[in-house]
Structure 1
């Protein structure tokens, strides 16, 4: 047991990675929709690439979405419209009409016979109007005059032509026609007024009952239109997948899912997904181990990468489960943007491609999905640069969104053969995708705080010479500050020349000597009075003060919350080099004693990246150039060659992944910059 605990303790980093690997794989498989993958891949308008396909079982041929939609439209347009006929309202109108006529007094204008005649004619008109019913125009529910409607008179149902129903626009005409020949104007006007007032619609559209009947009919719609028997030929090799062939293949695909992927083989399905996910994550770990060793050894960074992959897969699978129509709303381009901001383009693209390939197993139209997102990921890597510039991210995301739209447009034309069936709403989804991609800025800020990473935006803030720490350096050690500025300019130019991270190396150069603030007068660049305090110290004590500026710088940086990525420049800018001046002085002082070299050598580590190697070269070159009495092109050239060869001879660059060719380019840049700095102007006559 003790041996096991001891082994786990010694290999805690590997144990952590194994646990991270297993938990991430489990989470991804858990999120994945548990459905089988159809064994054949086919696209509309493309030839069938496999051998002749025969049905392995009986299955029904499903109607296409268009066929079902057309059938629903036809049923809806031809469905019966139900109306309620109100008998009580007819009786009320007749009763009210009779009362008004009975209250009419016999006069010179109207005799009792005239009143009886008006009453009879009025009742005839009411019966005529309400024979089939009086409906208001607003209740016609988009019917034409030849439409057949159904009247519900209590328990009695009667089908009639819609044109038989009286509408409000016809009422006045009917009243006028009925009494046009009546000779007495007083009676005519009175009856016209009475009937116009009391006659009201008694037929209303029964929306609830109509919808109920329509739903019952729609529920009885058959979604199949035939059968394919076992061993029947489905499609021949080389046939074009379109029309009926496409419909039968889609039916076979759906039938296969329902018959093959059942609970009995659920465990095999999960095993298959687990193997595929594990392989993808293993490839990511192997990539980090082989090409990004410094990231692989940092468990925090590995956790960060795996967490981002899991987050993207989680968001996409949620959309697949709940609404696949909005599949392209999820901004997967955030992943390469974030990884490129903190690491590099190659890692960002590699991780993005693996993530998209994993998602390809669960999304519809997987080839289209994979192609779209991989192309978008490549454009993201190529276009997203200098995130600290506000316009840069906006332009890059606009380019990514345009690529999405163009690629989808091309796919649609290939599949449909024209643009009439393109789903234009997808262009809106891509626009939303672009807007959501701006969340990358939020994620970058959030990850900086959680994982202690550094992006270009943070580097820009740190490189501001008005920041608290750099302002303090300028006040306490102005010579060191000017030295740091010169080194930063040299390092930035060199980094640009070989394609390294210029913003990172510039920021590292500005902070690499902040440890000199503790004892600024012990460094020559700050000795403005000409008094050298080292004259009063033993060489060993002087060397300790010089060596300690690295440790002091690390302590000051940590106290001021400077990111580790910048502190790395403080640690490595002298590597394991020797403070040769005081070492030689100690040897000369004690020629008969063996001098302990360790006391005069920096603790390191040596540079482990191109950027830290650039700083080491530029720092030594700038400092040494100050010792030249009469700077010339030849003396500068010889000095830089001597410094770099000495660093190479001391194996200071073996861990920095920098080539001899790149070192030569750096030397050339430094020589050119220093010659410009020390170039003397012509002497003007007095």
Structure 2
């Protein structure tokens, strides 16, 4: 696991692509269930449990019979088309006049056609179909859009209408022959037309009254076990499971398209996470170790979800909250919530109940974030676990009632799953420790623990080098104040400041803050030897830090708090003593590296300023301001801050904070006035009179 602490050479975009490939590879692919079951025979396969909730479908013959029965109540919807009647009469009139038909015959036909069309003329097929139905009725939609129930025998067909035209005429041979010669059948158009949309809706409403299933099987419920007798009901259940599984899986091209759709969605969610990091957390995006950590959290829980579904274990025992807790602990709250959302959305593609799953998981992410908003103690992780358990239980009850509307649908077994989930989340504090060791992270909790001055190493520093300890405390206050103002990690820089000079414990007397007045061991050493001892406190500090297993982030402060700067006192003294000699600057320079983060840059500035401020002969606003400006400008000129992602505005802000803090530390104290002679004499008289 130590390899995870080292710099990762893989390009960031490749890490995201690998995450997509891994999730897509492990995504569950339903397989068809095929059993050779025979009623009345023992079951020769293993235990079969329901992998998800599914309905027990009725046999096709039974379903068809029930649908045929209810369709006997079906009544179609029709409307009367007035334009057809008008067009029919108009066509007849024009043709009759063109043929020279006498007007009396034309008037007769027009009158009868109006009577027929006002009653309604329906097609022979519809007339026969409705006449053979159970109810022999239809709904006729009137002008007011109100449907009236009409018996089918109240309408005309083209045959009945033709007979009416012939039979109602005077029954002499001339009239009959004349009317028959007009080919009246050609002018009888149906004007009672079926309303397809309303009729279909009425038919669908009837069919919906016939349930396609006769019960449900719940996820995890036993269907049959080896040796049990196969009953007709068992066959129905197994057939239903096979049918729903095939529907979920699809076949051939459809299944391939479904897989392609899943891959597209997985890619979209992961790319959205990448874009979020690029635009809003660019520092994290360019830190491949952090990206790897976050993607591992997403991939791990997506793969776990897939495996649990394929094995048949309820996914609610998976502690999804742990991923949120880990990212919140080592990165930040907003990124933790985005990570949780991406994980939940991808997992919802795998679970058989995506709506319920998302309605439970998304609020759980917010509960995690809110319960850990001020993470300063490991015990808070335990409290968060209880909040998560309570949230799961209450959300499940709410979702079940909202979606199913029946309190009896609440499954008590779900609360057992939530309890198992709770137990897993309880161990998050152990995972925090493991991730710190594996990835070289340092959490806020660890920093608070390390900054406790009762820690053995800090206690030893206060005893062996009390002046250095006080100096470190002052630097910690200065640096933390500046870090807070410019948006850096104040807790990290405070912790780093407390340990930055632990290397001075090796030779404490060689550092001015620990020296007794009049005793300076450097007096008997050469400038080069004194510089070597001073410089060595950096390497010695790194050794001590590693011995005490301090995190790498703290060691970085030790290594960079002087950067590659010089021990200028001894360097300048040597130059003055040997003006004609070419000086090897490496003998008087710290090994570095230079600060490479905002936090390490702040410590470098704060350390130099605090140490130099002790040498001022007087503490005024002007002297303190000049000191701060001179020292930090010198560090800039020497290039000690060039590798740190800190702006000139940040540096100016830090200068202001340093000046304010130093003025507060070294402000002039009030001189208490002495008692005058008269006041002293009064006190003496009052004292003596009290004994008389």
- TM interval, shorter chain, is 0.5 to 0.7
Q: Tell me which of 436, 443, 447 is aligned to 1:448.
A: 436
Aligned to 2:563: 575
Distance 1:14 1:312, change over 3 A: same
**What per-residue deviation string (whole Å, max 9, x for no partner) do you get for residues 220-278 of structure 1?**
658999xxxxxxxxxxxxxxxxxxxxxxxx999866435x335x887777677667656
Superposition deviation, residue 549 in structure 1: 1.7
**What per-residue deviation string (whole Å, max 9, x for no partner) do you get for residues 360-401 of structure 1?**
321234355346434433453454145442553345445555
Q: Tell me which of 339, 342, 354 is aligned to 1:366.
A: 354
Aligned to 2:56: none
Q: Tell me which of 551, 573, 583 is aligned to 1:585.
A: 573
SS at match of 1:68: strand
Q: Tell me which of 5, 11, 32 is aligned to 2:27.
A: 32
Aligned to 1:321: 310
* Stretch deviating more after TM superposition (302-311 or 442-451): 302-311
* Stretch deviating more after TM superposition (406-415 or 429-438): 406-415
Aligned to 1:261: 251
SS at match of 1:453: coil
Query: Is the 2:508–2:514 Cα contact (8 Å) retained in structure 1?
Result: yes
Query: Is the 2:8–2:289 Cα contact (8 Å) retained in structure 1?
Result: no
Aligned to 1:216: 231
* Stretch deviating more after TM superposition (410-419 or 309-318): 410-419
Partner Cα separation in structure 1 for residue 564 and residue 581 of structure 2? 23
Superposition deviation, residue 21 in structure 1: 7.0
Q: Flag structure 1 segments of 5+ consecutive residues without an equivalent.
A: 1-10, 37-59, 71-210, 226-249
Partner Cα separation in structure 2 for residue 65 and residue 478 of structure 1? 84
Q: Tell me which of 512, 523, 533 is aligned to 1:524.
A: 512
SS at match of 1:671: helix
Query: Is the 1:339–1:345 Cα contact (8 Å) retained in structure 2?
Result: yes
1:14 matched to 2:9? The reply is yes
Aligned to 1:68: 215
1:308 matched to 2:278? The reply is no
SS at match of 1:553: helix
- TM-score (ref. length: structure 2): 0.59
**What per-residue deviation string (whole Å, max 9, x for no partner) do you get for residues 91-128 of structure 1?**
xxxxxxxxxxxxxxxxxxxxxxxxxxxxxxxxxxxxxx
Aligned to 2:60: none
**What per-residue deviation string (whole Å, max 9, x for no partner) do you get for residues 431-461 of structure 1?**
6544532221121122334444322333333
Residue correspondence of structure 1 range 377-388 to structure 2 within 5 A: 377-388=365-376
Distance 1:536 1:254, change over 3 A: same
Q: Tell me which of 332, 344, 355 is aligned to 2:320.
A: 332
SS at match of 1:550: helix
Query: Is the 2:364–2:391 Cα contact (8 Å) retained in structure 1?
Result: yes
Partner Cα separation in structure 1 for residue 216 and residue 247 of structure 2? 24
Aligned to 1:493: 481
Aligned to 2:539: 551
Distance 1:369 1:649, change over 3 A: farther
Partner Cα separation in structure 2 for residue 69 and residue 372 of structure 1? 23
Distance 1:614 1:334, change over 3 A: same
Query: Is the 2:488–2:599 Cα contact (8 Å) retained in structure 1?
Result: yes
Query: Is the 1:515–1:549 Cα contact (8 Å) retained in structure 2?
Result: yes
* Stretch deviating more after TM superposition (571-580 or 368-377): 368-377
Superposition deviation, residue 33 in structure 1: 0.8
Q: Tell me which of 607, 610, 615 is aligned to 1:619.
A: 607
Superposition deviation, residue 524 in structure 1: 0.9
Query: Is the 2:360–2:396 Cα contact (8 Å) retained in structure 1?
Result: yes
Partner Cα separation in structure 2 for residue 525 and residue 587 of structure 1? 25
Superposition deviation, residue 556 in structure 1: 2.0
- TM-score (ref. length: structure 1): 0.59
Superposition deviation, residue 552 in structure 1: 1.8
Aligned to 1:185: none
Partner Cα separation in structure 2 for residue 392 and residue 650 of structure 1? 45
Partner Cα separation in structure 2 for residue 613 and residue 487 of structure 1? 13
Partner Cα separation in structure 2 for residue 648 and residue 64 of structure 1? 80
Partner Cα separation in structure 1 for residue 285 and residue 494 of structure 2? 25
Partner Cα separation in structure 2 for residue 656 and residue 443 of structure 1? 31
Aligned to 2:550: 562
Query: Is the 1:34–1:269 Cα contact (8 Å) retained in structure 2?
Result: no
Aligned length: 486
Partner Cα separation in structure 2 for residue 328 and residue 64 of structure 1? 30
Superposition deviation, residue 520 in structure 1: 1.8
Distance 1:585 1:659, change over 3 A: same
Query: Is the 1:61–1:251 Cα contact (8 Å) retained in structure 2?
Result: no
1:629 matched to 2:644? The reply is no
Residue correspondence of structure 1 range 285-684 to structure 2 within 5 A: 304-323=293-312, 326-366=314-354, 368-370=356-358, 372-389=360-377, 392-400=380-388, 415-416=403-404, 429-430=417-418, 433-684=421-672
**What per-residue deviation string (whole Å, max 9, x for no partner) do you get for residues 489-526 of structure 1?**
33333334444333322221111011112222221111
Partner Cα separation in structure 2 for residue 431 and residue 640 of structure 1? 58
Superposition deviation, residue 626 in structure 1: 0.8
Partner Cα separation in structure 2 for residue 451 and residue 634 of structure 1? 47
Distance 1:62 1:394, change over 3 A: farther
Partner Cα separation in structure 1 for residue 640 and residue 341 of structure 2? 36
SS at match of 2:328: helix
Partner Cα separation in structure 2 for residue 319 and residue 65 of structure 1? 30
SS at match of 2:9: helix
* Stretch deviating more after TM superposition (271-280 or 311-320): 271-280
Superposition deviation, residue 481 in structure 1: 1.4
Partner Cα separation in structure 2 for residue 290 and residue 595 of structure 1? 48
Superposition deviation, residue 339 in structure 1: 2.3
Distance 1:290 1:606, change over 3 A: farther
Partner Cα separation in structure 1 for residue 366 and residue 647 of structure 2? 27
Superposition deviation, residue 596 in structure 1: 4.0
* Stretch deviating more after TM superposition (283-292 or 299-308): 283-292
Query: Is the 2:317–2:421 Cα contact (8 Å) retained in structure 1?
Result: yes
Distance 1:563 1:62, change over 3 A: farther
Distance 1:63 1:544, change over 3 A: farther
Distance 1:408 1:605, change over 3 A: farther
Query: Is the 1:333–1:437 Cα contact (8 Å) retained in structure 2?
Result: yes
Cα RMSD over matched residues? 4.4
Distance 1:251 1:591, change over 3 A: same
